[in-house]
Amino acid sequence: MVEIKEPEPSRQALMLYNKGMDAFNKGNIDYAITLFMSAVKDSPGFVKARNILRLAEFKKFQSKFEVLKKIIAFITTLPLQISMSVELQKKNWRGVMSKSEDILKHNPKNVSVLIQLASAAEMSGEDGMILTAIDSYEKARKIKPKNAIVLKTLARIYRSIGDLDRARVCFEEILRYYPTDKDINKGLKDLAALGTIARGGLDDTGTYRTKMRDGAKAEILEKEAKMVKTEEDVELLIANAEKQLQMQPESINIHRKLSDLYVENEEFGKAINMLEAAARLDEGDISIKREITNVAIKRFDKEIKDIENKLRKTPDSGELQFELKRIKNNKNSFILKDLAEKVAQYPNDMTLRYDFGSIYLKLGEYDKAIAEFQLAVRNPQRRTRAMNFLGLCFQAKKMYDMAINQFQKAIQSLKEMDALKKEVIYNLGTTYEKMQDWDKAIEHFKQIYEVDINYRDISQKIEHAYKEKSSDKK
């Protein structure tokens, strides 16, 4: 990989940065933003200062009125956007970067301006400015992870500087979001070939043995890059990973990689053994233990799927029906036992509490589920979903007032009408339906019906509620 050094900031920029850090640590965010902005305008390649500037701007920008702030920012920065266009026409790249920062001060989540800033940094051609470009593209990627322009540009830049691993990740992300993009598989194959060259090359000066060895590496890299692998691909990759493990027996990454390959080959026992070996190498890594659980569940799911396929051919088979019920019960028992052990070991892990509550809810153990979800709401990432599930628990226990309270709190924390918000509103409407409060049931069902007529059985729900309301009047 090409080593790129960040340009040295000027003495003035360093002084501004240090003052900005002092203000930031004291909570004086506005003054810190002013100082950091002055620092990056003085030294545009000062990535460290630009990072903390963006952090300060995000901190100031985030609030429950974010949508309104974005609208105000768009109107306020219209003159700045026009002046930035003028700088673009002049190809004054530093001017474009400066105007971009003026706009981002009002809305640091403006992806199009982050892209413009990154593009100007790259186009400037100044030493080390490619790091500024990468930094701004990555900021845009965090905000809009599915933006194909950002992902493709990052892939191109990473490839150009020889960072093939990051380039490959970007290509794979594009394929995940846009599986019909025909150019990406070619890009992945090119990366595989470049990786081979970087590791030794296939030039005419190499020996026959070297070329054969590197040709094998190229084949491995190409197969790893494929999104859909054949059985032969997986077998080759397993054999290669097993050789790697012999050379690096304490590599946790190789253990995990090999486990993933065993899962692809449906060799679940081997996959679990590999992860258990990895867990012994790092006993404090709970993520490995979660992977073991996931693989065990996949094994149960495979057994269930196999029996369900057999039942389609012989649906009256009592023996198969009994076996299906037995495996499903074993799966639930395993999940409960596994979660109980993890919760006992990590009682303050609220994600585990959330998972524990979810399985209790699924099994109809509502009181136990409530106890877990009441703890899980402490996890900011699970808080809204935990409140939704608490509402479902109270609804199942016919404690409708408490269910309504949980659903309403969950809705208040959701800004956009996404899948989760639809689910919570649907659950709230269903609670009012169970209470035969048809006006409120209709009010909430309409919120979903007006934006997504195909959501679950919302059409039938709203029609039923209107009929019941009409019959009450009679």
Look at residue 194 in the predicted model and tell me its pLDDT: 47
Q: Residues 400, 381: contact at Cβ < 8 Å?
A: no
At which of 113, 144, 175 does a domain end?
144
Q: What is the CATH number of the domain that holds 461?
A: 1.25.40
Residue 115, pLDDT above cutoff 60: yes
pLDDT digits (tens, 9 = 90+) for 176-215: 777 766 666 565 555 555 444 344 444 444 443 444 344 4
From 144, 167, 196, the end of a domain falls on: 144
Tell me if 192 is assigned to some domain: no
**Residue closest to 115 by CA, chosen among 78, 165, 150:** 150
**43 lies in a domain?**
yes
User: How many C-beta neighbours within 10 Å does residue 289 have?
Assistant: 19
In the chain, the number of structural domains is 2
pLDDT of residue 300 exceeding 50, the answer is: yes
For the ranges 226-235, 378-387, 405-414, 444-453, the lowest mean pLDDT is seen at: 226-235
112 is a domain residue: yes
- Alpha-carbon distance 387 to 229, whole Å? 41
Question: What does the CA dihedral 310, 315, 316, 320 come to, rounded to 10 degrees?
Answer: 30
Q: What is the mean pLDDT of residues 352-363?
A: 89
**pLDDT value at residue 246:** 86
Question: What number is the average pLDDT over the span 367-382?
Answer: 92
pLDDT, position 270: 92
Considering only residues 186 and 336, tell me which one the structure prediction assigns the higher pLDDT: 336
Averaged confidence pLDDT in the chain: 83
Which residue segment(s) compose the domain that 127 sits in?
Answer: 1-144
Please tell me what DSSP assigns to residue 287: H
Q: What pLDDT, on the 0 to 100 scale, is given for residue 76? A: 85
Q: DSSP code of 5?
A: P
SS3 288: helix
Residue that finishes a domain, picked among 86, 115, 144: 144
Percent of the chain with pLDDT over 70: 87
* Average pLDDT of span 226-248: 76
Residue 289 lies in a domain: no
pLDDT at 433 over 90: yes
- Residue 66 contacts residue 415 (beta carbons within 8 Å): yes
**Residues 10-22: what's their mean pLDDT?**
87
Question: For residue 161, is it within any domain?
Answer: no
Q: What's this model's pTM, rounded to 2 decimal places?
A: 0.48
**pLDDT above 50: residue 427:** yes
Q: For residues 316 and 318, what is the distance between their CA atoms, to the nearest angstrom?
A: 6
Q: Cβ neighbours of residue 82 under 8 Å, at least 6 residues apart?
A: none
Residue 134 confidence (pLDDT) above 80: yes
Classify residue 61: in a domain, yes or no: yes
According to DSSP, residue 363 is labeled T
Element (H or E) spanning 450, and its range?
Answer: none
d(CA 281, CA 256): 12
What are the distances in angstroms from CA 433 to CA 36, 387, 394, 397, 438?
A: 55, 20, 15, 15, 6
- Check residue 340 and give its pLDDT: 87
Please check whether residue 190 lies inside any domain of the structure: no
- At residue 409, the pLDDT reads 95
Averaged pLDDT for residues 58-68: 77
Tens-place pLDDT, residues 139-172 = 888 888 888 888 888 888 888 887 777 888 887 7
Residue holding tokens 């409140």? 387
* pLDDT reported for residue 215: 47
Q: Transcribe 94-151 into DSSP letters.
A: HHHHHHHHHHHTT-TT-HHHHHHHHHHHHHH--TTHHHHHHHHHHHHHHH-TT-HHHH
For residue 467, being part of any structural domain is answered with: yes
Q: Which residue has the higher pLDDT, 273 or 250?
A: 273
Residue 379 has pLDDT above 80, yes or no: yes
> Phi-psi bin for 125: left (phi > 0), alpha (psi -120 to 50), beta?
left
Neighbours of 465 (CB within 10 A): 24
